[in-house]
Structure 1
């Protein structure tokens, strides 16, 4: 027995030793790719030495003798920290994910091949101006210098993921950067999905008023420039066909549901509304969360001066940021830049489709998708005059496409003459608002509201190509239209001068929260669908609540968690429920409802992570929308993953008879809106009780509203996910200025998956007092201390200095890389 025990101990010890050795070897291999920021390196492609100073937040400050060498340095820095992210984005745009990930990503690749974003990017390279071509070539050379260093020095293949998903990395090319910019346009697009949804709902509802209820137009006039200071304290339908299976959601997929198709906040103050007498600008673009995040902070020293702000790895430009003379910010404009066309096939020849001038052959091309561990797939790509033909599995197109027809997409981002990259490069050297507005003419896609400030002026202008539609367009772009009718087809681009703009408003305040900016009739409108009807009201109050603003007041607004929606909706839906009857016995459903109503009655609408009320409120609204619409929409109710406050308000104010939604059609009694509100609250409380118990006071919104910065590839791997995913308890919600958009589905529909991955506030009274922050860290290497070192700062609403002072960058730097010509 003693001998057996001795052998068990020996075997166990040997196993533990082998395990430790394996972990050590694994760590050694992975850590080889950790970049060394403090070194000198001779590289090909430089004309003079480049110095990359990493400040104590690991933000690279690139100092170079020429713009070309500065872009080279940025490319090298991006490849040091985010190589895996860059190559994955490139593969996504190319439709080549399956070469690495197998059949999991086949449907994504098929759709990207049909869109041919990469082909459009390659064609657009020659459309760029000479300065942009220099930037693209130099940036690519910088990336490739890092690739050469990795190969020659055996630096762990450049990233830990490369060991798990081994695939060759081809040299970076200028088209790759343009393709990633187009991929961002895809992630920000949502009008195609809205067209399909509107069509499907219209087939379920015969009453146009009811369609206007569940898919409401944004109410009120457009808001961008505020008035002079005064305190606010005093169609067509299509036959319905069998449903198809939609493409499953994948963390690697760039196709976001329309509720997560882009957002952002930006606001500016003129000197007259600034306490320090200089212009102010705040910006927090909203995108899907991931680890690493989308944004990467950097500073470039160009001939026109220093520029600093947020970059996207793979793109050689400061996308949002400032120079010493100009600040620029972007928000999603929600421009309707996509139209779906139903193309009629020739019954005698399915290789032809009908046009206004008769039948015409599709433009076709074969494309081969290589798949890891499987045989390749050959597919035929088809285009019509209106755009690429898309499969019925994408956004449920099969449910709205009649037999004998196919669907084609017109979209500005598919332009093969796209000069958006040139606009981004030119913007960085603009000396003032006027020059920046001129640069904006080159923007094609994604369309944005570009908010600008210089030393004296503020402005906002919609940039991006606005499609020109005929006044008698059949569906006005709201639903799929017949592609063979001439008046439905796009008729070019509206002149840039006609894009909405707001320059030097008398009130001295400009802003956008993805709300309606202009209220113009079709076809001169911007969109029928906007991203916000709620945050804008809170923003107005904060901006007009004080006569002058400071950097700190702009920060306060960026971090504001008070929900205008909660304050306006709760009194409506709970009007007949507050403080009614005598207290119910402890432990009953009635008592639980009374406790919930008591908490909500005393609540100020602040979506604070430490409070229970935000969870009760969010669950009530979610259950209420389901109760109101499920009997009318049936399975389509699953498409409405987020409660729409405008729909609920229309119902509870009985706008145009909307209170009829409260009556359940399948039941004999006639339910009132009070009945539905009570039942929905009970539904919400049952859901909460099943998961978190009946002690409502102990609930924490932050426990369910966790920001999910998950690794798109390794985030679901057991054990490893604890190292690569970044989860944080967060305040805010769907309709707060500190926006934390919930996922809306799955086992935890309140996970925070979409929000401000970048925050910046710029004060031109003292530019070097400006601040910024990203939501994860600069590095994409999960063994680096810079992988998540900004995450808790971001969660707490803290910022780091955004200075162009070289001495400040050098002070306590984490390393200086000196690149010299070989």
Structure 2
């Protein structure tokens, strides 16, 4: 009997080991097999790195350069590039666990792979050639560096795989993530409401207020996910100045606020081919070209805008839950089950998830019903071509002609050129919606007349070219404050069903005020504005301080903190005794206002801030630079730990942070890639730039891991070597890379 028990126990152990090994190894075999680009192309690129390790990539053809882009960025950040490719294949959960699985859920929900398969072949041949070369570069690096691979079977890839990544990320830049997350979790849909549409609530002053588009509801999804991380808060500042207003050059200031690490962080590069492509700027991982920056004659930058590009329909379902009514007829809901790989410790679990679609678009079912989504450029990857064409434009007319095709779904664009032109475009592929409906609420899903097909004409978009003020800006605000009182657009000129946003940020209020007050906007004046660290007592800042004035804390320490805040000078420059406390108070209010969430409870926020400062610093007024830190790495020789200033929603932006074990706030999102471009009459274009860390942001053993950090903290810029003669003078390494085939 004992022997039998021992044998049974041994068999169970063996079975358990088999199961564990199976769960550790099944995913690469189950995943969609990768295919390399078609054989027959050989690429060659020269990569020259300057004193800061920034790659300058040269090639005979544009595809040669794209191949070099892949190699150079892999050398610096193959870690992040693999994450981006895993997302583009629906396999990120096998790397990042439940947090990665939320991306995979979205990948299947929006049918990113299907979008790429249906549309990639229709892209212009030269654009496809660019992406095939880029994919070849990533494949070659993966083959040469097998020890760096995170996930088996992730490579090879081809241009269509990269296109799937575009299809996935595109709608998240205009807010679909929070909508998906709220529907999946059964939370209320909070959205900014527009003007002059019946049923939109207003406060006592007539201002439009937020409303809930759906009641609280329990989720019935089989795989609930932490969706809050999918709606990453992104911001930016952008400025363009004419020669007349600057007293010298045409000036473009790109001041993006993106996460400092990860799949939407900036990577600086300069590209040049013998086919005429020559551009300096930055790209995002998984992109074979810079998407903002400048060429010899012109440049532009982006800020994230918040147009209403997503519509939500509640479907009328039959008793079986498998059919929906449209124009009086029943239609079968499309249904498809996918396996999501989700890593837990050493094993990867296969989690089945069913996805639904109607003629409207992807469908999410919860206890309150079935909700369909339809969003701008839903089955399109045309932006892949548009960004490439923008980089090759040589005039304002050519640049605008790309946008006139309405292929890019969103982003504010600020432009300047060597001829002295400046321009602002509130770019948004607004759906051509039927008037008379509350398009920011939940629409009836049984009327086909509400299922739009096309976008509005380019002429309907807000835009300003060469204003009399001589300046343009955007800081993630409505397009109606952009150029000064004499030139700003009138909201009444734009149809309410477009869905133009109607919000200001503190950065926009400060920028508009400072630009309007300046007689001349020379370099010194612009630096003061760009690095301004003040708050206006308006909007959510005013609401917060009004609430502090009304408070009557019984706790002595809370009252001391309250008085410290009431005496604050509203400037996050690290000099005031209330700066650290104000920093802790403001961030969550800024975030809630930006994302249309309820404002935090002031008393609770104050208590948390007091507790945090007393626990970690033993005082309410530590120097701000001791609290707010730029940190990269933890060991010598290239780790940094430096003080920062600025705050959430100041023009010098330290937007969001993580709280480290020592109580310090490590900034993870804020001023990121900054580029300052000047065209002076009769001279060649010149530019300067800076990043918080360095070119090799995930390579701790590289001297370029954080070699820009000290300059960044001091608010200094480094030179961009746009011209080859300058690159060669400052070259620290130089090599030629050639494809394997």
Fold match (TM-score > 0.5): yes
Residues 381 and 75 (structure 1), Cα distance of their counterparts in 2 relative to 1, 3 Å cut: same
Please give the alpha-carbon distance, in whole angstroms, between the structure 2 residues aligned to 1:571 and 1:238: 28
What CA deviation, in whole Å up to 9, does each residue of 1:72-101 have, x standing for no partner? 222222222222211211212322123345
What CA deviation, in whole Å up to 9, does each residue of 1:465-516 have, x standing for no partner? 211221122x32x232221134543352111222221111121111111111
Q: What's 1:37 paired with?
A: none
What is the alpha-carbon root mean square deviation over aligned residues?
4.1
Query: How far apart are 1:621 and its partner, in Å?
Result: 5.6
What is the TM-score with the length of structure 2 in the denominator?
0.79
Residues 284 and 215 (structure 1), Cα distance of their counterparts in 2 relative to 1, 3 Å cut: farther
Unaligned runs of 5+ in 2: 1-38, 193-198, 481-490
Q: What's 2:235 paired with?
A: 263
Q: How many equivalent pairs are there? A: 670
Which residue among 214, 217, 226 is the counterpart of 1:241?
217
Please give the alpha-carbon distance, in whole angstroms, between the structure 2 residues aligned to 1:646 and 1:390: 21
Matched, 1:358 2:329: yes
User: Which deviates the most, 787-796 or 236-245?
Assistant: 236-245
Which residue among 269, 277, 295 is the counterpart of 1:298?
269
Please give the alpha-carbon distance, in whole angstroms, between the structure 2 residues aligned to 1:168 and 1:384: 33
Which residue among 369, 378, 389 is the counterpart of 1:414?
378
What CA deviation, in whole Å up to 9, does each residue of 1:673-721 have, x standing for no partner? xxx98x6797467435542466334x133444345779xxxxxxxx89x
Query: How far apart are 1:794 and its partner, in Å?
Result: 2.3
What CA deviation, in whole Å up to 9, does each residue of 1:19-50 have, x standing for no partner? xxxxxxxxxxxxxxxxxxxxxxxxx9766753
Indicate if the aligned counterparts of 1:111 and 1:390 stay in contact, CA closer than 8 A.
no
Please give the alpha-carbon distance, in whole angstroms, between the structure 1 residues aligned to 2:132 and 2:596: 49
Indicate if the aligned counterparts of 2:409 and 2:428 stay in contact, CA closer than 8 A.
yes
Please give the alpha-carbon distance, in whole angstroms, between the structure 1 residues aligned to 2:262 and 2:335: 38
Aligned-partner SS, 2:645: coil
Query: How far apart are 1:561 and its partner, in Å?
Result: 1.2
Indicate if the aligned counterparts of 1:422 and 1:442 stay in contact, CA closer than 8 A.
no
What CA deviation, in whole Å up to 9, does each residue of 1:544-568 have, x standing for no partner? 2322223443333222211224897
Query: How far apart are 1:600 and its partner, in Å?
Result: 4.6
Q: What's 1:774 paired with?
A: 691
Indicate if the aligned counterparts of 1:307 and 1:323 stay in contact, CA closer than 8 A.
yes
Query: How far apart are 1:811 and its partner, in Å?
Result: 2.4
Matched, 1:459 2:423: yes
Please give the alpha-carbon distance, in whole angstroms, between the structure 1 residues aligned to 2:631 and 2:654: 10
Please give the alpha-carbon distance, in whole angstroms, between the structure 2 residues aligned to 1:166 and 1:108: 16
Which residue among 621, 624, 638 is the counterpart of 1:701?
624
Q: Who wins on radius of gyration, i.e. which is larger?
A: 1
Indicate if the aligned counterparts of 2:307 and 2:499 stay in contact, CA closer than 8 A.
yes
Matched, 1:381 2:295: no
Please give the alpha-carbon distance, in whole angstroms, between the structure 2 residues aligned to 1:724 and 1:446: 40
Which residue among 666, 677, 681 is the counterpart of 1:762?
677
**Quick one: higher RCO (CA 8 Å, sep 6+), 1 or 2?**
1
Please give the alpha-carbon distance, in whole angstroms, between the structure 2 residues aligned to 1:343 and 1:569: 41
Alignment of 1:285-684 (within 5 A): 285-290=256-261, 294-302=265-273, 303-347=275-319, 349-370=320-341, 373-374=347-348, 376-390=350-364, 392=366, 402=368, 405-415=369-379, 417-455=380-418, 456-473=420-437, 475-476=438-439, 478-518=440-480, 519-520=491-492, 523-524=495-496, 526-527=498-499, 529=501, 532-565=504-537, 569=542, 573=546, 589-590=555-556, 593=559, 597=563, 600-601=566-567, 603-609=568-574, 611-619=576-584, 642=592, 683=607
Q: What's 2:164 paired with?
A: 179
What is the TM-score with the length of structure 1 in the denominator?
0.72
Indicate if the aligned counterparts of 1:192 and 1:340 stay in contact, CA closer than 8 A.
no
Q: What's 1:190 paired with?
A: 175
Aligned-partner SS, 2:374: strand
Please give the alpha-carbon distance, in whole angstroms, between the structure 2 residues aligned to 1:64 and 1:285: 28
Matched, 1:272 2:244: yes
Matched, 1:120 2:115: yes
Indicate if the aligned counterparts of 1:641 and 1:745 stay in contact, CA closer than 8 A.
no
Query: How far apart are 1:419 and its partner, in Å?
Result: 0.8
Aligned-partner SS, 2:436: coil
Indicate if the aligned counterparts of 1:49 and 1:819 stay in contact, CA closer than 8 A.
yes
Please give the alpha-carbon distance, in whole angstroms, between the structure 2 residues aligned to 1:199 and 1:553: 42
